[in-house]
Structure 1
Amino acid sequence: MAHALYIHWPFCVKKCPYCDFNSHVRSAVDYAKWEAALISDMRFEAALSGGTPLRSIFFGGGTPSLMPPALVASLLARAQALWGFDPDIEITLEANPSSVEAEKFADLASAGINRISLGLQSLNDDALRFLGRLHSVSESLTALEIAQQNFDRVSIDLIYARPKQSETMWRAELAQALALGTDHLSLYQLTIEPNTRFATDVRIGAFLPLDDDPAADLFAVTQTMTAELGIRYYEVSNHARAGQESRHNLTYWRYQDYVGIGPGAHGRRGSYATLRHKKPENYLAAITQNGHGMKEARRLSQAESASEALLMGLRLREGVCLSDLATRFGFAPENLIDARQAEMMQRLGYVVFSADRLAVTDRGMPVLDAILGALVHSDLVAA
């Protein structure tokens, strides 16, 4: 049963140099064709995953704030007809803070969007130019003000641990961000992803990424400053006041079912992992031929599903309930994790057990990847 719907809009005005998401620049977009394609894809999935009203919808990208509000309204109307909506449904749209997109905020709110995720990325103009962003800090602040006038829930994204960024610099920028009045912040360390322009720049020596130790110091500063204002992390990179967490993303991290439509979208339907065609033209061709954009629907083994649930759930501050996962996937709790490693990490203060709940501590979050690699039972991963 689907709990959430993800709609991927693949188009951007420009490809950012750090971005490895499925985004594409096109000179023209046939909105009517895309409306028909996305509705066809929704109809296909609803026939397989209907029965439970949607608790959340997320328009991601790409840059979904480039979509005409009328298209957003049409997709939401069809989703409601196909699945039904929970009375308290969360409907999020990612947006860039350009003036052109901010002008759409009132119409997007009228279309049904009730939460906006605004990609500020930095509050420093030099940093924005380095990150390849097309907006200025002034535009960001104006767009944020407009967003806060039109939406009850607004989240902002920032990228830190940039080259040569000092603790003093980040403290000042984060303090400014925390004073903007949003109840949710997504704070990501800059990662040099393969097959991006930044990966090429690093390879040819155009710039050096920030070293691990100073990056870890900035992570610690981030946790301290957000916690002091009651905006603690609930996932390694996401911070919110109590009750303002992204319900949609919690669906992923709690490993619940969700529908993913649009180019390159992933989904989870029961024991199946679904994947749509990535290139926009290939996606449209698949819709024409098959009535859906599916590239693959792969049945996951119980071991794969349990491993994924652990890897996702341990990103959360709340952690995971081992007995629940054991019941869900048919494993004894002691077979889900490496007990020897878990005991050692608990002595070191990296994880904590409370009853049968396992969670990574504040101290462990900076080295989360290493902890996950050691904790998840080797037999489970290999199965």
Structure 2
Amino acid sequence: MEDWRNGGFGLYLHWPFCASKCPYCDFNSHVAAAIDSRRWQSAYLAEIDRLAAETGGRVLNTVFFGGGTPSLMAPDLVAAILERVGSRWPLANDLEVTLEANPGSVEAGRFRAFAAAGVNRVSMGIQALNDADLRRLGRLHSAAEARRAFDIARGVFDRVSFDLIYARQFQDPAAWRAELAEAAAMAVDHLSLYQLTIEPGTAFAARQAAGGLPGLPDDDRAADMYLITNDILDDLGMPAYEVSNHARPGAESRHNLIYWRCGDYAGIGPGAHGRLTLGGLRYATEAPRAPEAWLRAVEENGSGEAPRQPLPAREQATEYLMMALRLREGMDLARYRALAGTPPDAAAIAGLERLGLVTAAGGRLAATAAGRAVLDAVIRELAP
């Protein structure tokens, strides 16, 4: 059995446009005055055809529209993409189709049209539940708009997730406890909770360098908020199945699990990455980040990808270790050994076990809750 089958097969489609650029965001997102939807549709469909010709016959488990702000896409464009996807791959009976949305772009009619097109899960970027913090984060919506958008989404889709950012300016653990309790009370079954990090090249990085980001929690306080997150959501029946993601049993993001379990996924769109196993080799794929450059590549070269690079087995093993240890379930030691040719260092595992950072049992190696809090250090000890 090819290794990717342990994780499944998904499709990621990147929509690079947003209404505005958030100051903390380092994703490949752009603000555009006008978008030629017909041209974009032709490019997406051409890329679907190209990749399906290479992977035809595989059962497609998930589709994910990421961005950018995919909820700004015309529902007709989403429908055309999903119709083509369904004609090119056999689809899993429980196909998961996720679309990312921002509260400011949510309206009931648009969401009903997305559902009619085949979307069955929405991931909403709420980020904070109070107006002062939303303004500091550069978000265009208010807390009231976020709650209304969530209610609209829940009225249309059975599965709705939303994101929050913590360790924000002037936020303390007590405020975060209260916000988590409110989030959990919104009848949500999946939460993605990310610590605010100041990424190079962002507006926040420039502000911080100029002394313009007062009130950021120090590392110890941010770590306290991470531990609070896990304690509260464990008690509420939404354990962390991954470092930053919590879900009620059965509500996990199946698309993201493909990444963390090192399955294969085709990436389409500006800046999209992928992993594809073809002819016994696993390839890393990527695309030009600039929207116009990607469109020209598809139109003029018949491919929106940069030249592919095969991944050596040892690099695949390291990637599997790094991704799988993010998951509560951890990694399969036999699978790691098949990729790497050798098992992970037994002395390193024993040392981490003594510190209470990992467990090794039943043929699996997993980071504990304490280990996931310092995961980078755990991985440094184990990586070859």
TM-score normalised to structure 1 length:
0.95
Q: Residue 341 of structure 2 aligns with which residue?
A: 331
Give 1:354's match in structure 2, choosing from 356, 361, 370.
Answer: 361
Give 2:262's match in structure 1, choosing from 255, 277, 289.
Answer: 255
Matches within 5 A, 1:175-190: 175-190=181-196
Query: CA separation in 2, counterparts of 1:304 and 1:275?
Result: 17
Q: Residue 381 of structure 2 aligns with which residue?
A: 374
Query: CA separation in 2, counterparts of 1:358 and 1:266?
Result: 27
Identify unmatched segments of 5+ residues in structure 2: none
Q: Residue 273 of structure 1 aligns with which residue?
A: 284
Q: What are the Cα deviations for residues 145-172 of structure 1, in whole angstroms up to 9, with x where unaligned?
A: 1100100000010001112211111011
Q: Which amino acid is the alignment partner of residue 123 of structure 1?
A: L
| Residues 71 and 105, structure 2, Cα contact 8 Å, conserved in 1 | no
- Displacement of 1:356: 2.0
- Displacement of 1:101: 4.8
Query: CA separation in 2, counterparts of 1:272 and 1:88?
Result: 27
| Residues 57 and 92, structure 1, Cα contact 8 Å, conserved in 2 | yes
Q: Do structure 1's residue 245 and structure 2's residue 245 form an aligned pair? A: no
Q: Which amino acid is the alignment partner of residue 201 of structure 2?
A: N
Matches within 5 A, 1:105-254: 105-208=111-214, 209-254=216-261
Task: Report the 3-state secondary structure (helix = DSSP H, G, I; strand = E; otherwise coil) of the residue aligned with 1:104.
Answer: helix
Task: Report the 3-state secondary structure (helix = DSSP H, G, I; strand = E; otherwise coil) of the residue aligned with 1:286.
Answer: helix
| Residues 106 and 149, structure 2, Cα contact 8 Å, conserved in 1 | no
| Residues 65 and 95, structure 1, Cα contact 8 Å, conserved in 2 | yes
Q: Residue 71 of structure 2 aligns with which residue?
A: 65
- Displacement of 1:330: 5.2
Q: Do structure 1's residue 287 and structure 2's residue 289 form an aligned pair? A: no
Query: CA separation in 1, counterparts of 2:56 and 2:374?
Result: 39
Change (3 A) 1:332 1:26: same
Q: What are the Cα deviations for residues 34-92 of structure 1, in whole angstroms up to 9, with x where unaligned?
A: 00001111111111122112110000000000001110000000011111211110000
Query: CA separation in 2, counterparts of 1:353 and 1:101?
Result: 48
Matches within 5 A, 1:40-79: 40-79=46-85
| Residues 65 and 101, structure 1, Cα contact 8 Å, conserved in 2 | no
| Residues 72 and 105, structure 2, Cα contact 8 Å, conserved in 1 | no
Identify unmatched segments of 5+ residues in structure 1: 378-383
Using the TM superposition, name which of 251-260 and 43-52 deviates more.
Answer: 43-52
Regions of 4+ moved over 6 Å: none
Give 2:332's match in structure 1, choosing from 314, 317, 321.
Answer: 321
Q: What are the Cα deviations for residues 312-341 of structure 1, in whole angstroms up to 9, with x where unaligned?
A: 1110000001102222x25122xxx23222
| Residues 267 and 274, structure 2, Cα contact 8 Å, conserved in 1 | yes
| Residues 95 and 101, structure 1, Cα contact 8 Å, conserved in 2 | no
Provide the alpha-carbon RMSD of the alignment.
1.2
Q: Residue 3 of structure 1 aligns with which residue?
A: 9
Task: Report the 3-state secondary structure (helix = DSSP H, G, I; strand = E; otherwise coil) of the residue aligned with 1:34.
Answer: helix
Q: Residue 297 of structure 1 aligns with which residue?
A: 308
Q: Residue 83 of structure 1 aligns with which residue?
A: 89
| Residues 99 and 139, structure 1, Cα contact 8 Å, conserved in 2 | no
Matches within 5 A, 1:334-345: 337-345=344-352
Query: CA separation in 2, counterparts of 1:346 and 1:102?
Result: 50
The count of aligned residue pairs is: 373
Task: Report the 3-state secondary structure (helix = DSSP H, G, I; strand = E; otherwise coil) of the residue aligned with 2:197.
Answer: coil
Task: Report the 3-state secondary structure (helix = DSSP H, G, I; strand = E; otherwise coil) of the residue aligned with 1:363.
Answer: helix
Query: CA separation in 2, counterparts of 1:229 and 1:207?
Result: 33
Query: CA separation in 2, counterparts of 1:300 and 1:226?
Result: 37
Query: CA separation in 2, counterparts of 1:33 and 1:375?
Result: 47
Change (3 A) 1:169 1:158: same
Give 1:26's match in structure 2, choosing from 20, 23, 32.
Answer: 32
Q: What are the Cα deviations for residues 10-36 of structure 1, in whole angstroms up to 9, with x where unaligned?
A: 000101011111001110000000000
TM-score normalised to structure 2 length:
0.95
Using the TM superposition, name which of 231-240 and 287-296 deviates more.
Answer: 287-296
